[in-house]
Amino acid sequence: MATALAGETMAMAISSPGYIHVSLASSTSSASSLSMAGWSHRRTRSASMLVAVGLGSGKLGAGRRATGSSGASSLVCRSSVSPLSDANGNVAVFQSEEEFNTILNDAGDKLVVVDISTTTCGPCKMIFPKFVEMSLAYPDAVFLKINGDSSAESRALMRKWGVRAVPNFRFFKNGEQVHSHTGAKVDELKTRFAEHYGQSIKV
């Protein structure tokens, strides 16, 4: 089913349980939440690229375990908090609240950007290379990724964070969340990054 949104065509489909992916989605900020209650499952008629939109904000929540580790002792101790490959650039993959809080504490006043995805989200996979490029271009910021459907812990964390659609990007500074938006628009991601990075960025 296609729906017009801000002059763009939007197709909606259910992907992972509890997550909605939308093509050519507009973003939502942490100041507003999109209620998912009462939404029925819909099938898209289009095989076009899907972009997820959903809701935004929340404090840190319950931890998750992706590979059996309950948490990393520090960012340097990379047992489970680690880039999976060179393709991940400077993006560290975390899998629990404990790991996230450790990284956040170690980051100090650096900007921390979190990419919240799922393993089945096409739009998440499409924007991730751009996220990796940003991590390489701005090594003094901290770039993180979590797959919200990778384990029972990750699903619990997503519920506590209030994530209902992906990709969802969250920005933290000095231990506090300063921004959240959803959608796979690269321009939106760069704009929000520039707002909180504190200096000019490369286009």
pLDDT in tens, the chain (203 residues): 333 333 333 333 334 555 555 433 444 444 333 333 333 334 333 333 333 333 333 333 333 333 333 333 333 334 455 555 578 999 999 988 999 999 999 999 999 999 999 999 999 999 999 999 999 999 999 999 999 999 888 888 899 899 999 999 999 999 999 999 999 999 999 999 999 998 767 65
Other Cβ atoms closer than 10 A to 59: 9
Out of 124, 127, 156, 157, the active site residue is 124
Q: Give me the residues paired with residue 117 across strands.
A: 147
- Is there a catalytic annotation at residue 77? no
Catalytic residue among 24, 107, 111, 121: 121
Interacting residues of 63 by C-beta distance below 8 A, sequence separation 6+: 70, 71, 96, 97, 98, 99, 100, 153, 156, 157
Q: Could you tell me whether strands 168-173 and 112-117 are parallel, antiparallel, or unpaired per DSSP bridges?
A: antiparallel
Q: Omega of the bond prior to 129 within 30 degrees of 0, cis?
A: no
Q: Is 124 a catalytic residue?
A: yes
Q: Full-prediction pTM beyond 0.75?
A: no
